[in-house]
Amino acid sequence: MKSRLNNPVLAKEVKLRFRSSKSFTGVLFYLLAMCIFVFGFIYTTTSLAGTAYFKPSESVILFTFLTFIQLGLVLFITPGLTAGTISGERERQTLPMLLTTSQSSFQIVTGKLLSSVLFLLLLIIAGLPVYSMVFLFGGISPVLFVKSLFFLFVTLLAIGSLGVLFSTLIRRTTVSMIVTYGSMLFFTAVIPFLFLIIIQVKQFGTMGMTPSKTYVGHFLASINPEIFFASLLAPELGMSVQEMTQVTFPLWIGYLLFYGVITIGSIWIATKRLRVNMKKHK
Amino acid sequence: MIEISKLTKKYGQFKALDELTLSLKEGTVFGFVGANGAGKSTTFLILATLLQPTSGSVTINGVDVTKKPEEIRKLIGYMPDFFGIYDQLKAHEYLDFYGASYGIPVEKRNQLITELLELVNLTDKRNAYVDSLSRGMKQRLCLARSLIHDPKVLILDEPASGLDPRARVEMRDILRSLKSLGKTILISSHILPELAEMCDEIGVIDNGKLIAHGSVSEIQAKLLGDKTITTRISGDSGSAVAFFEESPFVSAISHDIHEGVLSFTFKGDDEQQFHLLKEAVLSGIHIVSFTENSVDLEDVFMEITKGVELIEKQTK
């Protein structure tokens, strides 16, 4: 059991990552970006209101913005960290030796993925003191805070798995990175655009009557990180999505299922494709 | 130990390996020689479970490479021709990572690392970053890596390429030590003399085909045929010429009277050669030296591959 949990690739990757000053610089800039935003927001709000205190209703807005900033950073950083994990080993000519060891393909793939995920988790955890400043002013439920962190983790795991998959399938890191960023942009920019088109078409066709159910629209809304996180932080937004699509299925289940399938599917395919299938011998 | 039968690898219409058949016993040091692109690395990649063959079979210690690659990986230690190293790891950390990758317990790993660093003469570089090592040192460290799980078979693809003469000698000494440990070693090179000194058997590959296989002397004898022997005579060389002309194994005698040098072609084995020399001395010929002309192994290699090229041109 102990040997199953022991992952040499993960241990090596963590060691290499934290031996490089780039990782610490990354954490520094991440925290700086968050601090600038939080203190800038508090300063601007208090000076505009002409008061020396910060209202609980404003802390909700701050929390929402902070969550979206973290989501944005996770979506932006994850492809960069994962899309070169396997192809990078190939380019550095270290992959053949790694593949001739007794480690299973699953161990190698998950080791690579988890090392990137752990770094992202470190970013999120390092940002927690800044993030939790909103509790000083009240108005935020700890459950909502935990929920947002959990779904942030689900998102980074899914995008990270896609990065590792493309890194396994595509030989060159540059191409793998472009494809991973492209997928991320598809989920964050193309899907909401498609959702809006579908809703517009449905509403246009009903001529003011109650629109019919649109499962595709509901599906698109539940797999888009922005719409989902907005509905998580402001439940009334989730209700309006349900009104528009006429589907009452909870968005979070759709989100969890979709990104869960993406994660499992990507890891499975990457594991299958990492090594040459010698057994396919004709 | 290693059985390769009709191994073929095709890339479209191009045959990188063409029905290669080879059998090696346990403990053999086998040198695989051939020009660049002849098929050496392709064969090694298949043996190392990194490339799927188109047809044919390969077994190592009775285990089929295509059926049980996981088991093969435990049996082999592979060193590719071009390889990268994790520069930010220290030499002992590098070996420790691979030790862990083979599931070796921590306590055993530490002991193994010390032993292996000693074997490859890198004990003093234990805590040095891999990045700071010379190319020769990196090659040796990579060799130590391939030995970490005590494999029965070592597959070394051009282990001495790009090394300076001193590093080559060091590498050769290490391989000799490994040979004494009873490992079956497969080494490839495009330089035949480099392999001749340390290999029990040599296989010459050209255009994916094994065109010669045997010991170095067998290959030389097979391809170059008769030996040329040169003797230096003091005194009456005429009687020496008469003596050698009588021998049924001697032909094509050339004689330099002024220098007292006599050369001839000898068709016989080592025992017959010994008797010829003995009888010559006993018959009173003043032989100062009796030398079998050394054969340039590069010439042998060129001769072999040229022969194949000619046959191929003729068949086309």
> From the CB of residue B18, how many other CB atoms can be counted at a distance below 10 Å?
18
Between CA B156 and CA B143 the distance in angstroms is 8
Structural domain for B72, as ranges: 2-214
Instruction: Enter the DSSP assignment of B12.
Output: T
Q: Tell me what pLDDT residue B272 has.
A: 83
- Do residues A157 and A78 lie in contact, with contact meaning Cβ atoms separated by under 8 Å? no
Using CB atoms, pick whichever of A11, A94, A278 lies closest to residue B84.
A94
Is B250 found in the same domain as B166? no
pLDDT tens, residue by residue, B197-245: 778 888 888 888 888 888 877 776 666 666 788 888 887 777 888 888 8
Q: Cβ separation of A12 and B86 shorter than 8 Å?
A: yes
- Do residues B218 and B280 lie in contact, with contact meaning Cβ atoms separated by under 8 Å? no
Position A32 pLDDT exceeds 70: yes
Q: Tell me what pLDDT residue A1 has.
A: 45
Q: Tell me what pLDDT residue B92 has.
A: 94
3-class DSSP assignment, residue B292 = strand
**Cβ-based contacts of B86 with chain A (< 8 Å):** 12, 16, 94
Is B278 found in the same domain as B143? no
Is B174 found in the same domain as B29? yes
* Residue A120 within any structural domain of the chain: yes
pLDDT tens, residue by residue, B146-194: 999 999 999 999 887 777 777 778 888 888 888 888 889 999 887 666 6
* Residue A3 within any structural domain of the chain: no
As a dihedral over the C-alpha atoms of residue A204, residue A205, residue A208, residue A209, rounded to 10 degrees, the angle is -150
Could you tell me the CATH number of the domain that includes residue B136?
A: 3.40.50.300
Could you tell me the CATH number of the domain that includes residue B303?
A: 3.30.70.100
3-class DSSP assignment, residue A213 = coil
Structural domain for A96, as ranges: 9-276
**Band of residue A78 on the pLDDT scale cut at 50, 70, 90:** very high
Share of chain B above pLDDT 70, in %: 89
Chain B touched by A4 (CB under 8 Å): no
**Mean residue pLDDT across chain B:** 84
Between CA A225 and CA B38 the distance in angstroms is 53
Is B79 found in the same domain as B162? yes
Position B312 pLDDT exceeds 70: no
Position A280 pLDDT exceeds 70: no
Is B71 found in the same domain as B42? yes
Q: Which of B214, B248, B270 is the last residue of a domain?
A: B214
* Residue A19 within any structural domain of the chain: yes
Residue pairs spanning A and B at CB distance below 8 A: 84
* Residue A281 within any structural domain of the chain: no
Q: How many domains does chain B have?
A: 2
Using CB atoms, pick whichever of B52, B80, B93 lies closest to residue A281.
B52
B85 vs A205: which has the higher pLDDT: B85
Q: Which of B188, B214, B240 is the last residue of a domain?
A: B214
Is B300 found in the same domain as B167? no
Is B145 found in the same domain as B116? yes
Q: Tell me what pLDDT residue B220 has.
A: 67
Handedness of CA B233, B236, B240, B245 (dihedral sign): positive
Handedness of CA B103, B76, B79, A176 (dihedral sign): negative
Is B204 found in the same domain as B82? yes
Q: Which of B165, B188, B214 is the last residue of a domain?
A: B214
- ipTM value: 0.84
Is B137 found in the same domain as B190? yes
* Residue A2 within any structural domain of the chain: no
**Band of residue B74 on the pLDDT scale cut at 50, 70, 90:** very high
**Cβ-based contacts of A20 with chain B (< 8 Å):** 88
As a dihedral over the C-alpha atoms of residue A262, residue A265, residue A266, residue A268, rounded to 10 degrees, the angle is 160
Is B222 found in the same domain as B156? no
Q: How many domains does chain A have?
A: 1
Is B285 found in the same domain as B273? yes
Q: Cβ separation of B83 and A278 shorter than 8 Å?
A: no
Position B40 pLDDT exceeds 80: yes
Is B23 found in the same domain as B163? yes
Instruction: Enter the DSSP assignment of A112.
Output: H
Between CA A240 and CA A242 the distance in angstroms is 5
Average pLDDT over residues B282-311: 69
Comparing alpha-carbon positions, the chain B residue that sits nearest to A275 is: B50
